[in-house]
Amino acid sequence: MSQMTDKAIGITREVAHIFGDTAAKAVDVSKGYARRAVSEAELRKKIYELGRICYEMYCSGTDNSGLIKAKIEEIKETEAHIRDAKESTGVKVICPVCGAQNTCSNTFCSKCGTHLNK
């Protein structure tokens, strides 16, 4: 009877460990989705700000190209954060030509070389 009890306890521990790992992975994925949502909201705001700068520059006739360049760099950084968040959630980019799954960081398909639209 003691061997069966020990075996049951061992199996229970293994199952608890598996569930614990799965829960931790689920939390990490959820955090990735949250980071992505925040970054996408920031991206929309920065793109709006860029449009506002361009509009004001057009209306006033002043040259704000330095400010425009700085805002574009902010946008690029935010886009990189979004790519990182997509990677952490396991989001894949599907090649429109061959159907291969590629990581979000790929610019070109790893199978056929087609440029990937993200």
Note the pTM of the prediction, 2 decimals: 0.58
Q: Is residue 101 scored above 80 in pLDDT?
A: yes
Q: What is the pLDDT of residue 39?
A: 93
Query: What per-residue confidence (pLDDT) applies to 104?
Result: 76
Tell me the sheet residues that pair with 92.
Answer: 103
Mean pLDDT of 8-23: 73
User: Could you tell me the pLDDT band of residue 79, with boundaries at 50, 70 and 90?
Assistant: very high
Percentage of the residues of the chain whose pLDDT score is greater than 90: 48
d(CA 64, CA 35): 31
Question: Two tokens at 3?
Answer: 């061997």
Question: Which of 36 and 88 is assigned the larger pLDDT?
Answer: 36
